[in-house]
A and B are shown apart, each in its own frame.
Chain A
Amino acid sequence: NAGVTQTPKFQVLKTGQSMTLQCAQDMNHEYMSWYRQDPGMGLRLIHYSVGAGITDQGEVPNGYNVSRSTTEDFPLRLLSAAPSQTSVYFCASSYSPVAGGQETQYFGPGTRLLVL
């Protein structure tokens, strides 16, 4: 199994440009999520999905869009990039949570995004 894969590894954007960060997993996990990591702030949840066709907002969803058309893929779209979206983005997946969220989440290697 490849686990959780993310592309690209690194991207530079200009303010106002749009792009899609790709995330795929081959573990047949129902639950997928996107986090951003900023220095001194840990990881914060952007959006998550509990299954194909179902998505919901996390802690910091503004400026991002997601969809889940298949179990395997969960792309993150930046609609109009801003310098505040410069960050490292991680995708994660797990089996469906049972009784309050004890399932281990598996993380991808991350995408480093720089918005100028």
Chain B
Amino acid sequence: AQSVTQLGSHVSVSEGALVLLRCNYSSSVPPYLFWYVQYPNQGLQLLLKYTSAATLVKGINGFEAEFKKSETSFHLTKPSAHMSDAAEYFCAVTSGGATNKLIFGTGTLLAVQP
């Protein structure tokens, strides 16, 4: 069975600092991995996804993530945080087979301090 673990339910950074949100996965088949962002009182928006085409994936709003099979990780980074990045971030993996069922991590709430 597939699963996702997000380390750190709350992360706080200063504006302009590096953002690093951690995600580790468990999968018995080659995974497809996603990062979604949720702004307050809104739905989820796709930031980026890994579909095996390239291990370094660039997404919207300056975010990127690197797929590391040896570490079973898919950490999300952004070189310089902006106040508008404050949101909750979810890592997810699809369960494989002929379905599109997403398995979500528990989320990381990012706070950006001025």
Residues of chain A touching chain B, judged by Cβ–Cβ distance below 8 Å, are: 4, 31, 33, 35, 40-45, 48, 50, 58, 90, 92, 94, 96-97, 100-110
Contact = CB atoms under 8 A, between A and B. Distances in A.
B94 interface: yes
Interface stretch (B63-71, B76-84, B102-110): B102-110
Nearest to A94: B100
A11 B12 CA distance: 33
A96 B104 CA distance: 19
Contacts of A106: 46
Nearest to B101: A45
Contacts of A58: 101
Contacts of B101: 33, 45, 48, 58, 101
Interface of B: 9, 29-30, 32, 34, 36, 42-46, 49, 51, 90, 92, 94-102, 104-107
B104 to A, nearest CB: 4
Given A42-B105, A48-B99, A105-B102, A100 B32 contact: yes
B102 A100 contact: no
B51 A102 contact: yes
Given A4-B43, A102-B49, 5 more contacts: A40-B9, A92-B102, A97-B98, A101-B97, A101-B99
A97 B99 contact: yes
5 contacts: A42-B106, A103-B100, A107-B36, A109-B43, A110-B43
